[in-house]
Amino acid sequence: MDILHLIDQLEELFNESKSFWLTSEVMIKEDRLIDLIDQMRLAVPDEIKQSQQIINQKDRILAQAQEEATRTINLAREKSVEMVERDGIVEAARVKADQLIKRADEQSNMMKRDADEYAIETLKELRNELSKILNQVTNGINALESESIPSDEKARSQLVEGYKDISNTSSK
């Protein structure tokens, strides 16, 4: 379930709540509140699981790149030994082996860069989404708190008015 939808439901629950007379306290249905909190807990870890999957995917790509580089280097060594034994041209074999090793290193580095860029970009997108969600949650909390907590002046004036009413009633 979408976390924003759950926040809307939480706000709706608060708005439906009854307030206690002369206080900033409200009575909220406990079972609905606990249910919403449980649903929110289940909704948030999906984003966290996605980030872990991205990190695992990056690690797997890097391991594959390293394995491919090792395989290419071993192949280059085998080829160079084979060339020396077969043709007797040591210098040509060294040049070819160096080229293969260099190409393998370049491919490995390129694959690592690509994997890092992909992981960084995906994590940045996830961070932005999580920031948006956090801002929305913070704004929702702030809105709920500002609506539910009367200012000190307002509370004092309500208490004074209540006291006056009681005094006037007892004087008569």
Residue 60: pLDDT above 80? yes
54 in any annotated domain? yes
pLDDT band at 7 (very low <50, low <70, confident <90, very high): confident
Tell whether 155 is covered by a domain. no
Q: H/E element holding 70? A: helix 30-87
Note the pLDDT tens digit of each residue in 43-57.
776 667 777 788 888
165 part of a folded domain: no
Is 163 a domain residue?
A: no
What is the model's pLDDT at position 153?
A: 60
Q: Which domain holds residue 66?
A: 3-18+26-147
The CA distance from 147 to 15, in Å, is: 9
CA distance 3 to 11: 12
**Angle 90-148/3-16 helices, nearest 10 degrees?**
10
Range of lowest pLDDT (37-51, 60-74, 108-122): 37-51
Whether 171 is in a domain gets the answer: no
> Is a pLDDT exceeding 60 seen at residue 165?
yes
Domain count, the chain: 1
Query: What pLDDT is recorded for position 158?
Result: 64
DSSP assignment letter at 153: H
- DSSP states of 110-148: HHHHHHHHHHHHHHHHHHHHHHHHHHHHHHHHHHHHHHH
* Average confidence (pLDDT) over 74-96: 78
Do the domain assignments include residue 140?
Answer: yes
The answer to whether residue 157 is domain-embedded is no
3-state secondary structure of 66: helix
Tally the residues of the chain.
172
Average pLDDT over residues 130-152: 83
